[in-house]
Structure 1
Amino acid sequence: MAHKKKSTSHKRKEKVIIKSSAANLALTKISFDELPGWDKADVKKSLSAFQLSCETFLKQKPSHATGSKHIKLKAGDWHPACKAAVALDSISEDTARTFFEKWFHPLEFEQKKPVHGLFTGYYMPQLKGSLKRTSEFSTPIYGLPKRASQKHYTREQIDNGVLNKKAPVIAWIHSPIERLFLEIEGSGVIQLTNGKNIYLGYAGENGAPYTSIGKVLINKGIMTKHNASKAAIIRYLESHADIANNIIHKNKSFVFFENLKRPVAIGAQDMTLTPGYSLAIDKKWIPLGAPLWLDTKRPVQKSNEKQFQRLMIAQDTGGAIRGFMRGDIYWGSGKIATFLGEHMKNKGHYWLLLPKHIFNRLAKQ
C-alpha cells in the first residue's frame, strides 16, 4: 500500500523577542497540543484560581500597568478574557479547557532552544508562640516600624534590639531560625498558648538584598546544590546553635508582617492564594495573574518523585525567586504542605499563556 510522503516544510512560528541585556530571549507561539500532558490535566481548579486574579484586574482601570518589566501589559489587556471567565455560571473540565484554548496562546521560552529552571515549593508554616515574651518564646515577629526611616536596619541590627519600642511586636516565637523560614514563606499561622491563632501576612521589608542561606552553606562546603533543601538547612542550623545566628545574619534582608485576621494566605495581587495552583514568580519577567503551564516533578516521599504537570497562575513573588524560568509553588498548610514545601527542588519548564490579542499586538512591535 502506498503512503503519502509527509511534507518537510514547516510554517515559520511567530515569536516575540524580549529585549534584555541579561538574556537573549524569545517567546515562540505553540499549540496546546504541544504542551506535555495538557489533554490529561485538571484545569477546572486552575480556572477558579484565574478568576480570583480576574477580580483584581477588573477592579483596575484599563490603563493600569499590570505587566512585567519585559512584557508590557495593562489591566485592560486582561479585561476581555476576565469578563468571559467570571461570566461562566458552572465550570466543568470541558468548559475550563475550552475557555483557555479559546482565549490564550501558549508561548515557549527560548534562548535558541527551550530552557529549564528551578522549581521549589512554599507553604504556610504553623508555629507555636505567645503574645508576651517568655523563656520559651523570645524571638519577636515585628510589624512595620512606626517611621519609614526605621525600616532599613539589617537583620543583625534588628536582632541586637535596634527596633525595641520602634516597631510593634505582633507575637513572640521560639527562635530566629523559625522566623527566617517564616519570612521566606511570606505568611504563617502562630498558635498561641491560649489556643487562639494569629494569621500572618507579608507587610514589607527592610530593603536590604536577599542572600540565600542555602547558598551560604554551599559556598562554605557544608552542603551541595543537590542536598540543600529547606528541611536540610533547618536541621543543620538547629544542630549548630552556636553558629546559627552568624549564618542567618549573612542574609541582611528582613521581612515585617501584619495580622491578617483571617485564615488565608494573601499573594502579591492582594488576593487569596490557591494551594497547588498559585505560583510565585519573578515579576521582572512574568506578569502577575498570567497562567503558566508547568512541567516538573514533585516529591512523594523523601526518596521518590512523580511527574507534575499543571496550569498554574502567577499570583505571588518572593525574594529568592529570580529569573525568567523560576517558580515556587504554594502548597497551603498542614503536614503534606510542609513536606512538599521543604523538600521540593526540581528542574522544570513552563509555558506562558497570554490572551491571543495581546500576543498578536506584541508580535507586531
Structure 2
Amino acid sequence: MLRYQHPTGLLYHFKTGMVMIFSFRCNLLTQLLTILLLAGCAMSQPYIQAIEPDDDLPIFLDDGDRANLLECARIHTGYLAKLPKSHQTNINGTRYSRDRLLDSMESFIDLLEQDLGQEAFSEQLRKNFTVIQAEGRRSRNGEMLVTGYYEPLIAGSLKRRPPYIYPLYRAPKSLITTKDPKTGKKKVGRIGNDGKLRPFWTRAEIDSANQPLKGNELVYLKDPLDAFLLHVQGSGRVLLPDNSERSVRFSAHNGHDYKSIGKLLVDEGKLTLQQSSIPAIRRYLEQHPEDEQRVLNQNPRYIFFRWGSDEPPKGSLGRPLTAGRSIAIDRKALPDTLFGWLETSIPVINKQGIIVDWQISRRFVLPQDSGAAIKGPGRVDLFWGNGPFAEIAAGNMKQAGRLYFFVKK
C-alpha cells in the first residue's frame, strides 16, 4: 500500500472533556491556557471539503447487497452509541454532536428499511442529508486513491518443520508501550541495558540470524512474503496440515512507521507504477530470491499476532468488518462517525481468476478501520473479506475514486 502525507486544514475529531476541580485554589490562568491549547490544536488539524447539494452531485446508487449494508450500518450505530455524549465531530468549522451523528445513522437505516427504488432513495438522501465530499489527494479536486485489503488464507504449521520455517510472533513481554507526558502520544519500544526506553527492533533485526524474539513464535508459514502480507493485512486465517483453520488477529506493532516495498521497487526501476501490485511484487521476488530479504526489510514495521475467533476480523473501532462495506481511512483526516458513499472501479474476473476488465462500482460504505499505510484525506482502503475475488481485488486495486459523507440536516 502506498502512503501519502496529508495536508493540515480544518477537520478534526474533537472530544470535549470535563475539567475536574480538585482545589478551590485552581489557577484561572491554567484553565484559560488549556482552552487556548485545545483551540490551537483544532486549527492545525486536517479537513475535508464540504459541498452544497446541487446538480453536480451524483445519483447515489448502490451495487452491493442491501442486507449486508443494513448489518454494517447497525454495527456502526452501536459504535456511535458507545461514544461519550460530549463527543463532537468538527467539519469545516461546523460541530456535529454525538446525538446528531447517531440520529443521522438511524435515519439512514430507516431509509434502507423502506425498500425504496435506487433513484427514489438517492433523492430522499439528498433532500434530508447534508452531503460532504472528501477533499481527496492534493490538487486532485476530490480524487481519491482507492485500494483494497482482505483476510488471506495461508498454509502454516504450529511446529517448525520444513517448509514451514517463517514465524509469526505473538507480542513479546519486552514490547513496552508508554505515553509521552508532553505530547500524549503513544511510544513503543523496549528497555535497553541502560534502563531507558529504546526503539524496538526493526523487521531486519527481528528476522536476522540473531532471532531476538525466539520463543515467541505463534505459528510458522512457508513463504516469507506470505508472512509479510499478513503483516500488511493485519489479520488472516492459517490452514494447518490437518486441514483445520485458525484465525490470527492483530495484537501489537513494533512502533516503526510503515514503508511500501512497492514504492521501493518502483523508485529503483524494478517495476513501473502500474505494475506495483501484489502479484507483480511476488513475481519479482520469485525471480530474484537473492533480493527478497532486502526488499522486505525496507518496511521496518512489524506486526505481532494472537489467535482469534471464527468471527469476522475487527477494525480499529473494535467492531466486526463487513466485506464490501467497511473501509479503512486516516481517522485524523476523515470522519469515522459518518456513513459514506464510494465511487471507484473494481475488477471483473473470469473463471480462471484473471482480470479481464474493470467496471465502475458505486456503494455505501462505513469507515470502521485504519491502517499505517492509509494516510491523508485522499486515501481509502476497501475491505473485501476472504476468498478468491477478495484476494485478487485487494492485490490489484490502485484505482481513482470519489468519497462522500452524509449528516442529517
Does TM, normalized by the shorter one, top 0.5? yes
Aligned position for 1:163: 213
Size of the alignment, in residue pairs? 338
Alignment of 1:59 onto 2:85: no
How far does residue 355 in structure 1 lie from its aligned partner after superposition? 3.7
Q: 2:63, 2:361 within 8 Å by CA — same for their partners in 1? A: no
Q: CA deviation at 1:264?
A: 1.4
Q: What residue in structure 2 maps to residue 122 of structure 1?
A: 149
Q: Give, in angstroms, the shift of residue 270 of structure 1.
A: 1.0
- Give, in whole Å, the separation in 1 of the partners of 2:243 and 2:86: 47
Q: Measure how far apart 1:284 and its partner are.
A: 1.5
Residue 241, structure 1, aligned to residue 294, structure 2 = no
Change (3 A) 1:335 1:89: closer
Cα displacement (A) at 1:272: 1.1
1:195-214 map, 5 Å: 195-214=243-262
More deviation in 70-79 or 180-189? 70-79
Query: Which residue of 2 is the match for residue 305 of structure 1?
Result: 358
2:324 and 2:382 in contact (8 A); partners too:
yes
The SS at the match of 1:62 is coil
1:256 CA displacement: 1.2
Equivalent residues of 2:10, 2:43 under 8 A apart: no
Residue deviations 1:179-231 (CA, integer Å, cap 9, x gap): 11111111100011122211112122111111000000011101111111111
Q: CA deviation at 1:154?
A: 0.4
Instruction: Label 1:49 to 1:23 Cα distance change in 2 as closer, same or farther (>3 A).
Output: closer
**Among 158, 178, 184, which residue is 1:131 paired with?**
158
Q: For the Cα contact (< 8 Å) 1:142–1:169, is it kept in 2? A: yes
Secondary structure of the residue that 1:246 maps to in structure 2?
Answer: helix
Pairing of 1:11-22 with structure 2 (within 5 A) = 18=11
| Structure 1 segment 1-365 matched on structure 2, within 5 A | 18=11, 26-31=49-54, 34-39=56-61, 41=63, 44=66, 45-64=68-87, 75-84=98-107, 90=113, 92-93=115-116, 97=121, 100=125, 104-110=129-135, 114-147=141-174, 148=176, 149-150=189-190, 152-160=200-208, 161-165=211-215, 168-301=216-349, 302-356=355-409
Shift of 1:74: 6.0
Q: CA RMSD in A?
A: 3.2
Q: Which moved more, 1:83-92 or 1:56-65?
A: 83-92
Displacement, 1:261? 1.9
CA contact (8 A) 2:247 2:309 kept: yes
Structure 1: how far apart are the matches of 2:201 and 2:328?
A: 26
> Is the contact made by 2:105 and 2:339 (CA closer than 8 Å) also made in structure 1?
no
> What is the CA distance between 1:164 and its match in structure 2?
1.4
Letter in 1 for 2:115: S
How many Å separate the matches in 2 of 1:322 and 1:54?
A: 25
- Local SS of the residue matching 2:395: helix
**1:169 shift after superposition:** 2.2
Following the alignment from structure 2 to structure 1, what is the Cα–Cα distance between the partners of residues 206 and 91?
Answer: 32
Deviation at 1:332, TM superposition (A): 0.8
State the shift of 1:86 in Å.
Answer: 6.8
- SS of the counterpart of 1:244? helix
Cα contact 1:63–1:76 (8 A) shared by 2: no
Shift in Å, 1:177: 0.8
What SS does the aligned partner of 1:226 have?
helix
Asked whether the equivalents of residues 61 and 363 of structure 2 are also in contact (C-alpha less than 8 Å), the reply is no
Taking only the aligned residue pairs, the percentage that are identical comes to 28
1: CA distance, partners of 2:392 / 2:236: 15
In 1: Cα distance, 2:227 partner to 2:263 partner: 18
State the shift of 1:67 in Å: 7.3
Please report how far the alpha carbon of residue 329 of structure 1 lies from its aligned counterpart in structure 2 after TM superposition.
Answer: 0.9
For the 8 Å contact 2:48–2:91, the answer to whether it is kept is no
> What amino acid does structure 1 have at the position aligned with 2:220?
W
Alignment match, 2:16: none
Kindly provide the amino acid, as one letter, of the partner of residue 121 in structure 1. G
Other-structure match for 1:360: none
Distance 1:293 1:321 in 2: 18
Question: How far apart, in 2, do the equivalents of 1:72 and 1:142 lie?
Answer: 43
Deviations 1:82-127 (A, max 9, x none): 4556789956355994885576321124578722121111111100
Q: Deviations over 1:146-201 (max 9, x none)?
A: 13144821001110211113xx3221111221111111111100011122211112
**Structure 2, gaps ≥5 residues long:** 1-8, 12-41, 177-188, 191-198, 350-354
Secondary structure of 2:375's counterpart equals coil
Aligned partner of residue 309 in structure 1, secondary structure: strand
Query: TM-score of the superposition, structure 2-length normalised?
Result: 0.73
Distance 1:271 1:70 in 2: 28
User: Residues 75, 201 of structure 1: CA spacing in aligned structure 2 closer, same or farther, 3 A cutoff?
Assistant: farther
Partners of 2:48 and 2:112 lie apart in 1 by: 39
Would the alpha carbon gap of residues 140 and 39 (structure 1) be closer, same or farther in structure 2, given more than 3 Å must change? closer
> Structure 2 counterpart of 1:340, which letter?
A
Deviation at 1:63, TM superposition (A): 2.5
Is there any run of 5+ residues in structure 1 with no aligned partner, and where?
A: 1-15, 357-365
Distance 1:325 1:267 in 2: 20
Q: From the superposition, tell whether residues 146 and 237 of structure 1 become closer, same or farther in structure 2 (CA, over 3 Å).
A: same
